[in-house]
Structure 1
Amino acid sequence: MCGRFALFSRPPAVSRWLGLPEPDAAWQPRYNISPGTWIAGIRRAEPDAEPRFDRLWWGYRPHWAGQTGPEPINARAERLDESKYFRGAFHKHRCLIPADGWYEWRPGEGGKQPYFLCREDRQPLFLGAIWEPYMDETACCAIITEPARGIASDIHDRMPLVLDDDSLAAWLDPTLTEREAIRSVVHHLDAGVLTAWPVSTRVNRVAHEDADLVEPVTL
């Protein structure tokens, strides 16, 4: 799953990586991003619009579901084309969530131990996500997850869909609307470039928000 992540790369670095203009409003470094908050994302608000940075609500609820509909934070890649809840957004409303890494918890004798996962070269990651209009304020989103691969599988059985750099433009391409067409040109990042280390259990509390959260600890 993906229930907590960090984004501390500055907007100019992320925008240069994507070849996009910088966002209108710069975000502040965040080391403990939790669901039910506004997060940075990249999307096409309209099919003929250029991709741009936007503020997205992390918690997905299609407008037709009403105010009482569920608001999942993740969507399983295996079910995107089968689920009525996610199908429309998968075909028409795909977006990217920039991150420097994400947290997962591995069960142990002393309780669950958090780990931070990121690229070995410490470059930004881009998580595949879907969006829908949200309460007349920009959009809401869910981060897509897939079975864990590589080092991530040693910690948890799921991980976010991290896209490789050559797939980012295609993921946002509004002309790609069919599952097989999307799968033929969109690929996840090679798991061999990921690394992970244990971090402080302070990350368990969303009130903790500082750079020390991503520092390795000795078990």
Structure 2
Amino acid sequence: MPLEPRELTPRYNVAPGTLITSVRHPSDDAPLVMDEVWWGYRPHWANEKAPEPINATVEKVATSNYFRGAFAHHRCLVPADGWFEWLPVDGKKQPHFLCRADREPIWLAGIWSERPDGKPGCAILTEPARGVAKEIHDRMPLALNAESLEPWLDPHLTDRETIRQVVHHLPAETFTHWPVSARVNRPGNDDASLIEPLPAG
């Protein structure tokens, strides 16, 4: 996956409806770029009242009229260290940070489209939760293994069944999680303490 190195500014509380980092081919024959896209998917042909989802389910992304063109031609990767989910506890929602147990970066599968404003926007694919992720939520982002990154980004690979055969998620045992501060509930908070485990007790 040849790509020019780029220095990324750490972010610890990435909210929907903001710019996020992605890796993609801006067109079929363009080289890979790492750039910023809007986290919110609304294709250029949709009207202003059309939905702007931040996620697309693996069960429907290849067949939905809204997503299938992007699934075939405009796939991307979103780098992340992990993600947050909220677990109901005693009438409240306790945030948890989910990540690889080895703390290596995660590559999340996404799709993108040019938005009505001419700028790219994306949605991250989700799948039924697996392994320890099921303890927190019934869905999780689609995190790809290393062998799947190049085929996922290949704009000339458009057949749905072929994509499914060559693209695979990380094993369930890859992941772990822990409770974190409720400060993450405020998008304005963005510092490394947000992903630190809460003290025991």
What's the TM-score once normalised by structure 1's chain length? 0.88
2:156 alignment counterpart: 175
**Partner of residue 169 from structure 2, selected from 188, 194, 201:** 188
2:64 alignment counterpart: 83
- After TM superposition, give the deviation of residue 179 of structure 1 in Å: 1.1
1:22 alignment counterpart: 5
Aligned length: 199
2:93 and 2:101 map into 1 onto residues whose CA distance is: 24
- Greater share of helix: 1
1:115 is paired with a residue of what secondary structure? Answer: strand
2:68 is paired with a residue of what secondary structure? Answer: helix
* Alignment-mate amino acid for residue 128 of structure 1: A
1:136 alignment counterpart: 118
**Partner of residue 189 from structure 2, selected from 201, 208, 217:** 208
Does 1:109 pair with 2:93? no
1:34 is paired with a residue of what secondary structure? Answer: coil
Whether the 8 Å CA contact 2:44–2:118 is kept in 1: the answer is no
- After TM superposition, give the deviation of residue 66 of structure 1 in Å: 2.1
- After TM superposition, give the deviation of residue 55 of structure 1 in Å: 0.8
1:147 and 1:174 map into 2 onto residues whose CA distance is: 26
**Partner of residue 76 from structure 2, selected from 95, 101, 111:** 95
Whether the 8 Å CA contact 2:2–2:32 is kept in 1: the answer is no
* Alignment-mate amino acid for residue 114 of structure 2: P
Whether the 8 Å CA contact 2:15–2:187 is kept in 1: the answer is yes
Identical-residue share of aligned pairs (%): 56
Runs of at least 4 residues off by over 2 Å: none
Q: Deviations over 1:155-207 (max 9, x none)?
A: 10000000011100010011211111001100001111111111011101111
1:87 and 1:104 map into 2 onto residues whose CA distance is: 27
- After TM superposition, give the deviation of residue 50 of structure 1 in Å: 1.8
Q: Deviations over 1:135-174 (max 9, x none)?
A: 123x100000000000101110000000011100010011
- After TM superposition, give the deviation of residue 19 of structure 1 in Å: 4.4
1:197 alignment counterpart: 178
1:50-69 matches, cutoff 5 A: 50-69=31-50
What's the TM-score once normalised by structure 2's chain length? 0.95
2:27 and 2:197 map into 1 onto residues whose CA distance is: 42
1:19 and 1:109 map into 2 onto residues whose CA distance is: 48
1:63 is paired with a residue of what secondary structure? Answer: coil
Q: Deviations over 1:51-87 (max 9, x none)?
A: 1101100000011112221100000110012210001
1:5 alignment counterpart: none
1:116-127 matches, cutoff 5 A: 116-127=97-108
- After TM superposition, give the deviation of residue 110 of structure 1 in Å: 4.0
1:15 alignment counterpart: none
1:85 and 1:180 map into 2 onto residues whose CA distance is: 19
Structure 2 unmatched runs, 5+: none
2:165 is paired with a residue of what secondary structure? Answer: helix
Structure 1 unmatched runs, 5+: 1-17
2:37 and 2:74 map into 1 onto residues whose CA distance is: 13
- After TM superposition, give the deviation of residue 107 of structure 1 in Å: 1.1
1:43 and 1:68 map into 2 onto residues whose CA distance is: 27
**Partner of residue 52 from structure 2, selected from 29, 52, 71:** 71
